[in-house]
Amino acid sequence: MNGVHDIGGMHGFGAVQREADEPPFHAAWERRALGVTLAMGATGAWNIDMSRSARESLPPAVILTSSYYEIWVRALESMLLARGLITRDELAAGQVISPPRPLPRVLGADAVDAALARGAPTERPAESMARFAVGDRVRAINQHPSGHTRLPRYVRGRVGTVSLVHGAHVFADRHAVDWPGGFDDRPEWLYTVAFAGAELWGPQAEPGTVVSVDAWEPCLEPA
């Protein structure tokens, strides 16, 4: 979706504000927001692309005026509500009103270290030959889907060069969509595509800059 999360190249956000000796969290609730979000993610009720999609789907004004972990919390609430895992009445009351829904699993404390060390690898056996090779000229397709996509606006329609081939990976744009009976983890070839600064930014490009994105094969065409 063409949302306010997709901000590569935008003007007007001001200077980068850094903080010396920044702590991992700035409030006690941020700790819990991280922990609760990761614990719910580990249940298998949704995948990381669905989480990203939920965050992007918050109202634009909310995204632009919320802190990072506040966006996480709001998106977590929306996913729990959308899947019927909790109800608005329960959220308002802060207590259980309806029985719980079954989940694929619940993360126990003794399973945390192993779950983090495993992560969620996205590489899968390739189901086809790679269409592109390192050095190929490719164009990022011009597309504006209303759903989740990891192809940022600033490269759409632009021509770059394949600089890495990563193998076949779960295609985030499909993986983010609810699919009957599980997640749609069918892979597509994944490439790093490098664009010259001037191809992206025209006369305002800084000389001697190259920007790359990682793009799946359905988002690329020969150029």
Partner 1 sequence: MPHDHSDGDHSHSHLGEMDVRVRALETLLVAKGYIDPAAVDRLIETYESHVGPHNGARVVARAWADEAYRDWLARDATAAIASLGYSGRQGEHMVAVFNTPDTHHVVVCTLCSCYPWPVLGLPPVWYKSAPYRSRVVREPRRVLAEFGVVLPESTQIRVWDSTAEVRYLVVPMRPAGTEGWNEDRLAALVTRDSMIGTGVAAVP
For partner 1, the closer of residues 28 and 133 by Cβ is 28
Distance CA 204, CA 202 (A): 5
Report residue 51 CA to chain centroid gap.
7
Least separation in angstroms between residue 63's CB and partner 1 is 10
**β partners of residue 182:** 179
Applying CB under 8 A, which of residues 59, 60, 82, 108 lies at the interface with partner 1?
A: 108
HSE at residue 106, side-chain half, CA atoms within 13 A, is 5
For partner 1, the closer of residues 38 and 141 by Cβ is 38
For partner 1, the closer of residues 62 and 223 by Cβ is 62
Residues 134-173 close enough to bind partner 1 by CB under 8 A: 150-152, 154, 164, 166, 169-170, 172
The stretch among 99-107, 126-134, 178-186 that binds partner 1 (CB under 8 A) is 99-107
The H-assigned helical ranges of 11-111 are 28-41, 48-56, 60-65, 68-82, 88-93
115: closest CA among 35, 31, 178?
Answer: 35
User: CB within 8 A of 62, min separation 6: which ones?
Assistant: 71, 74
Looking at residue 98, its amino acid is S
Question: Does 14 sit near partner 1 (CB under 8 A)?
Answer: yes
Least separation in angstroms between residue 206's CB and partner 1 is 5
Applying CB under 8 A, which of residues 130, 212, 218, 221 lies at the interface with partner 1?
A: 212
Residues 32-71 close enough to bind partner 1 by CB under 8 A: 32-36, 38-40, 42-43, 45, 52, 55, 64-70
Distance CA 116, CA 111 (A): 9
Question: Does 120 sit near partner 1 (CB under 8 A)?
Answer: yes
Applying CB under 8 A, which of residues 50, 58, 76, 162 lies at the interface with partner 1?
A: 76
Structure tokens at 174: 């499909």
Applying CB under 8 A, which of residues 16, 61, 129, 133 lies at the interface with partner 1?
A: 16
Q: Residue 202 gets which letter from DSSP?
A: G
Structure tokens at 202: 């025209």
Question: Does 185 sit near partner 1 (CB under 8 A)?
Answer: no
Least separation in angstroms between residue 138's CB and partner 1 is 15
